A and B are shown apart, each in its own frame.
Chain A
Amino acid sequence: MDYMYCGETLLVDLESGESEEVELVEVEEAGPGLAAGLALYEKYAADDPLVIGSGLLAGTTAPASCLGFVLGKSPSSDNLSLVPLNEFAGAEVKLSGFSFVVVKGSSKTPVYLWLHDGVADVHDASQIRGKDTWATTDWIRHEMGEGLIQVISIGPAGEKKSPLASLGINYWGGIDPGGLGALAGSKNLKAVAVRGLGMLDGEDPQAFYDATVSLSKSADAFTGLAEVCSKTGSEDITGWLEPMVHRYRSCFACPSACGTFLKYNESPSSLDLEGVPEPGFLLFDAGAALVLKEGGWEAEPAARALEAMAREGIDLIRGAKLLAAKPVSDAAAIKDAVSSLEGEPDALWPAPQASPSSIFESWPPPLAAGDEWLTATALGYVLGICPVFIMTSGATLDSFAALSKPAAGIELTVAEIAGMIPPRS
């Protein structure tokens, strides 16, 4: 497949600090996106690797083409586990100049991996050792002189290999059901920073562009996590969040804007760019907020707790499950409660309702029944399109699969794509 991926597979050995490029054959053999990622994992499984990649259409004009992933073995369960890379991280991975990245081995000292334009550098991270994810993101962006660098990092929880540790994206936490943050911590890998100014080529660029614009225009777009909740049949959180909502934000190329910025350190109506430096928290997934709400938390303390967990690099859902039963409200108590989580044993993610044997945990939340949810999620990870968008856009699954033809010259059906992701063994 000559299109929609640039570069080969990067193999990084943290033990030696060396990296090399190896020929990418997995897309041809197994399929694009997560299918290739799973094949690469199997190939290097003995090294307990982290595999980083993106879907076929990630980083393109396809609507919601924001999805990449980190794949690895959960230190807690020994199951294969996935961290979705949304926001702008998946697109940057695609444009980094490497199609997939396999990180194996452990470094003796803390390091971060800097992927840019087909160059991979393993840098010393001693200056950010012990720093939270916010400070880590700031430091790397300052060091490199560019604010759009996407930083996938661990916080103190990951460094301590806490079972609750999460890989987070920039400042806003992550969705890490299996605790791959702890696996990164065991490798002394503090962060993966990604920026690429590369370009992708399509088999029929004009036809691809036309099809993606048409799909974007016809989509049912929405704003805010409250709407996601209403679509999933979850509890209505509109009134609970509303007093703090400042703005909505979408991930890369997405017509919908799930991201909901909550301001609690200054008035949500403030538009002052010179206001407080850290006015609140950008929430990309409602799951953790819902868990806290159900536990009786008020909205503002809940938002502060989510921020604190994101900073510490604690998985928001699992952390929220442990915090839910003991609501607190003042800032110091929230900080203490979150700090104490690092020593807690793991809390399980909600099991996927549709298929317990699937590699997919309950992200995205089940927006459709059984097999349909599973198929749409597989489609998302293979194509690099956010499954939340796939399931809420009103477009057919076939219309997403059909993009593979003008993109890469391959005709993939929905059933073929679903078949690329085997059940968890």
Chain B
Amino acid sequence: MTSRLARAARDPALEPVREAFTRAYSTGEFLYPKVAVYRGAGASHSWMWFADMLERFSLYDTDFIDEGALDGGLDEYDVLLFGGGDTYATARALGEIGAGHIETAVSRGALYWGSCAGAYMVLSDVDLDPFTPFNGVPGGMENVMTDPPEPRCMGHKYLAEYGVSQVFNPVYGEVKLRTDDGEELGAPLYGGPIMSAGEGSRVVAHYSGKAGRAAFPWEPSEAMDFIRGSAAVLSSPLGEGVMYAAGPHLEHPMFPAANAMIGSKILTHCMARSSRGFPYDERTAGEEKKEKLCMDIKREVSNARIAAFGLEKMPVTWTSGVKVWEPAKVSMFLETAWRRLPLLTGLSGGAPAPELEAVARGYAGVTVMVKSVVRLAMRGEDSRAEALTLLDTLKELTARFLSLYFRLLLDDMPGTCS
């Protein structure tokens, strides 16, 4: 099966980073990082793109954390990844304590990469409540004004309030970036900031033009004139670490060259640091049941994705905060697990049976929830509450699945660290 996604995953641009981290894991030559991907309150589905990207780089020592995980601090992590979503909801959920934990972890040597909402949150000029405690990248957003023009299209994705002003998105889709070393690459801009650098921050890439597929709430030429030359990716050192703010989603799985750019930044960061070994010796075997349990998971994910396909045909959307969810997002969560199932089954490591059972039960519950939303939508009834519960459940369950999957991948890696 050669899908576009599978072809992108095999793109040669990814190979140097993958090879280097595989080597780091097996030889301890430099830091094989422990990564945290934020998937908590406010996060959209885009955190799963980070999971795809990390898998491409063989970076399996990864936790998918929510706001609750931040209570204990983030010091164990070498890389912090925050994706898109509802910036307000994320900032409120993390609060001053969460902001402090991020700052402390980076000051002690971690790398922070924020895409879209994860970038808005840490820009220094974005400081109204609830963003006041978050800083780290000196800079501001240029896509804000008090009275932006009416959009030509994409009205539901065009605006977000910011105080008395409005953050607006003149282009929605693939844009071209030029990096500070002259490379040109494409990445999707889904409402992320169009930025200006502040004192102490560096422009790592700027918007350079129009790429293949995009929608234009503004006239295309006006939109591109507006964004061209502005900062797309900013970086700033903070203590021993570094923070990046990226308007576009360079982690999107269909953009391997953009993935490689993030990978090279993480790699450079890790090569300057020493390995610290891993305590992964707690493999709880359940090998004899693994095949059956994997089939149970497959059965339930399949049932859920078939029902979710039915849901995609319904003319409904659900709003949570400033984030609009479409039915297709349900399928995206399910696909994240679905396309990894053959690998999960084939991994040689023993799998913890209770965890596999819990994941299977979780997906069985999701199937029931998807069907319930389908039936409500078919009857023309309000499905918002059920749909948002479903999406929260899927977010949680997908993180659980990915944690299990990454742990098994790590167990399967040849190396001295495990």
Task: Enumerate chain A interface residues (CB-CB to B < 8 A).
Answer: 6, 116-119, 121, 142, 144-149, 195, 197, 199, 201, 205
Contacts and interface: CB of A to CB of B under 8 A. Distances in A.
A119 B370 CA distance: 19
B309 A148 contact: yes
Contacts of A117: 298, 302, 305-306
B302 A201 contact: no
A201 B7 CA distance: 13
Interface in B296-342: 298-299, 302-303, 305-307, 309-311, 313
Contact of A145 (B2, B3, B370): B370
B302 A119 contact: yes
B295 interface: yes
A112 to B, nearest CB: 14
B375 to A, nearest CB: 7
Given A117-B298, A118-B298, A119-B295, A144 B303 contact: yes
A199 B299 contact: no
13 contacts: A6-B1, A116-B303, A117-B302, A119-B295, A121-B299, A145-B307, A145-B370, A145-B371, A145-B374, A145-B375, A146-B307, A149-B306, A195-B306
A336 to B, nearest CB: 35
A119 B2 contact: no
B355 to A, nearest CB: 21
Nearest to B374: A145
Contacts of A201: 1-2
Contacts of B303: 116, 144
A221 to B, nearest CB: 26
A201 B307 CA distance: 25
A145 B311 CA distance: 8
B408 to A, nearest CB: 21
A117 B2 CA distance: 17
For the complex of A and B, 3 pairs with smallest distance between CB atoms:
A145-B307, A146-B310, A145-B371
A119 B298 contact: yes
B3 A199 contact: yes
Size bracket, chain B contacts: 20 to 34
Given A116-B303, A199-B1, A201-B1, A145 B298 contact: no
B302 A145 contact: no
Contacts of B2: 201, 205
A148 B310 contact: yes
A116 B1 contact: no
Contacts of B374: 145-146
A197 B306 contact: yes
B307 A197 contact: no
Contacts of B3: 199
Contacts of A199: 1, 3
A184 to B, nearest CB: 23
Given A145-B371, A145-B374, A197 B309 contact: yes
Nearest to A200: B1
A116 B302 contact: yes
Nearest to B373: A145
A146 B371 CA distance: 8
A8 to B, nearest CB: 14
Contacts of A149: 306
A118 B299 CA distance: 9
Contacts of B295: 119
Contacts of A142: 375
Contacts of A197: 305-306, 309
Nearest to A149: B306
B299 A119 contact: yes
Contacts of B310: 145-148
Nearest to A143: B371
Given A145-B367, A146-B307, 14 more contacts: A117-B298, A117-B302, A117-B306, A118-B302, A119-B295, A121-B299, A142-B375, A144-B307, A145-B311, A145-B370, A145-B374, A146-B306, A148-B309, A199-B1
B343 to A, nearest CB: 15
A174 to B, nearest CB: 23
Nearest to B1: A199
B299 A144 contact: no
A116 B367 CA distance: 14
Contacts of B370: 145
Nearest to B371: A145
Contacts of A6: 1
Contacts of B298: 117-119
A165 B298 CA distance: 35
A139 B135 CA distance: 56
Nearest to B311: A145
A144 B374 CA distance: 10
A177 B306 CA distance: 33
A199 B4 CA distance: 12
The winner among A142, A148, A195 for most chain B CB atoms within 10 A is A195
Interface string B270-310: 00000000000000000000000001001100110111011
Contacts of A121: 299
Contacts of B305: 117, 197
Which of B303, B313, B370 is the most central at the interface, judged by chain A CB atoms within 10 Å of its CB? B303
Nearest to B295: A119
Nearest to A199: B1
A423 B311 CA distance: 47
A119 B306 CA distance: 12
B299 A145 contact: no
B137 to A, nearest CB: 41
B360 to A, nearest CB: 12
A195 B302 CA distance: 10
A199 to B, nearest CB: 5
A17 to B, nearest CB: 15
A204 to B, nearest CB: 12
B393 to A, nearest CB: 16
A10 to B, nearest CB: 13
Contacts of B307: 144-146
Interface in B1-27: 1-3
Nearest to A195: B306
